[in-house]
Structure 1
Amino acid sequence: MSEELVVVSANQAAPEDVDAIFGTTDAGHCRCQRFKVAGWIWRDTTEDERIARLYQQTACGDPGAPATSGLVAYLDGEPVGWVAVEPRTAYPKLRGTRVPWLGRAEDKDDPGVWAVTCFVVRKGFRGRGLTYPLARAAVEHARRGGARAVEAYPMVVPPGKHITWGETHVGVRQVFEEAGFTEVTHPFPRRVVMRLDFP
């Protein structure tokens, strides 16, 4: 029997489902605050602060919320994955990060461009290719939200090269290629900027 994958906006997910996905290690410590927190690094905040901020940003448990910061995937009813996607302007740290801007004259304050910044797949469910449907769902979520384009900043994984799960929280190039993104720039050997413009 095939497994059923359902992806919903995070405000439709219960807080305990989000907690189950993030867990207590890896992304569980950051809580998707890397590009959002003030200060030099996300560890300048406490874990309780980051958890509270994620709850606020997702509006999880509030289906009527006007906005959310990501999507939650369920596999046969079990919460298994997360993808962060919202207007690029929601990520203050992206403004000062070199990856998105090297070789580009892009308007950093353009609210019509959304960004996919993070994937989390729950331990025990990794290696099943769940980031692929999450990326496709992020595209559709951005489109429905009024985006005119959506960007991503994935890692390049050379054939035969092993990298840790934590390094690929931004996604890998192939995932975005299969979701319809094309490469815009290749600012560093291991990082690319990819984009999908909507008609």
Structure 2
Amino acid sequence: MDEASVRIVPANQASWEDVEAVFDTKDYAGRCRCQRFKVVGWIWRDSTYDERVAMSQAQTACGDPNAASTSGLVAYIDDEPAGWVAVEPRIAYPKLRTLRVPWSGRDEDKDDAGVWVVTCLIVRKGFRGRGLTYLLARATIDYARERGARVLEAYPMITQPGKEITWGELHVGARQVFEEAGFAQVHHPTPRRVIMRVDFEA
């Protein structure tokens, strides 16, 4: 991919129509809308699709460049909306407090607003297989640092050739994507998941 053709902006500087174009897919991302770690209870049982869309629209603050916060970044390729990455303070994701991956074997303050997280990467159909997730992961570093993050964290999967990953599991990203972006592995809580971080105070 020619990086000169790629532009990545905070979601509040994009239009809601552009975000919708990225999420307009029949797979996991289109149904979840990056609400998996935000809704109360089990995502499919305790929230409706329309509720998740409304939550996403409110969180992105699309079309409001002066918004106090937004929930991610939107990537454009030749001015076409092509990708999304969710990046926010960890405290924006209530369900992360109860999951094994972020906390198994670690003793950290779950309410530390200085820790930001990357929870989801999406590439629109028609733009996949061109390396856009690598650029999105890299963009989260400067974005989080500039907004006062002390640490940026991700929970990617270890992919293995020939081994199928189902149910949208890879929405968290692959380990090699974050390695190339400059994240360092700090923990390996499950056979297929790692915790990777960028420490801005190091």
Q: If the length of structure 1 is used for normalisation, what is the TM-score?
A: 0.96
Cα deviations by residue, 1:61-119 (Å, 9 ceiling, x for unpaired):
11110110100000000000000001000000000011000110011110000000001
Q: CA deviation at 1:198?
A: 0.5
CA contact (8 A) 1:33 1:42 kept: no
1:191 aligns to 2:193 (yes or no): yes
Greater share of residues in helix: 2
The answer to whether the aligner puts 1:111 opposite 2:113 as a matched pair is yes
State the partner residue of 1:16.
17
How big is the shift at 1:5?
Answer: 0.2
Residue 24 of structure 1, CA deviation: 3.5
Q: Aligned partners of 1:24 and 1:154: how far apart in 2? A: 22
Displaced runs of 4 or more, over 2 A: 40-43, 159-165
Q: Residue 150 of structure 2: which of 148, 151, 161 is its match?
A: 148
- Aligned amino acid, residue 71 of structure 1: L
**Alignment: residue pair count:** 199
Q: Is the 8 A contact 2:25 2:125 kept in 1?
A: no
Cα distance in 2, alignment partners of residues 76 and 193 from structure 1: 33
Mapped to 1, the partners of 2:131 and 2:163 lie a distance apart of 18
Matched residue, 1:4: 5
Displacement, 1:40? 2.3
Percent sequence identity over aligned pairs: 70
* Paired position in structure 2 for 1:135: 137
Specify the SS of the correspondent of 2:103: coil
Which region of structure 1 is more displaced relative to structure 2, 65-74 or 153-162?
Answer: 153-162
What letter is aligned with 1:159?
P
Q: 1:118 to 1:106 in 2, by over 3 A?
A: same
Encode CA deviations 1:38-77: one digit per residue, 9 max, x unaligned: 1123442111111110010010111110110100000000
- RMSD of equivalent CA atoms: 1.5
Cα deviation 1:10-48 (Å, max 9, x = unaligned): 001101100000013121111000000011234421111
- Name the residue aligned to 1:87: 89
Distance in 2, matches of 1:186 and 1:114, equals: 19
Instruction: Report the secondary structure of 2:112's partner residue.
Output: coil
CA distance in 1, matches of 2:105, 2:70: 31
Unmatched runs of 5 consecutive residues or more in structure 1: none
The equivalent of 1:179 in structure 2 is: 181
What stretches of structure 2 of length at least 5 have no aligned partner? Answer: none
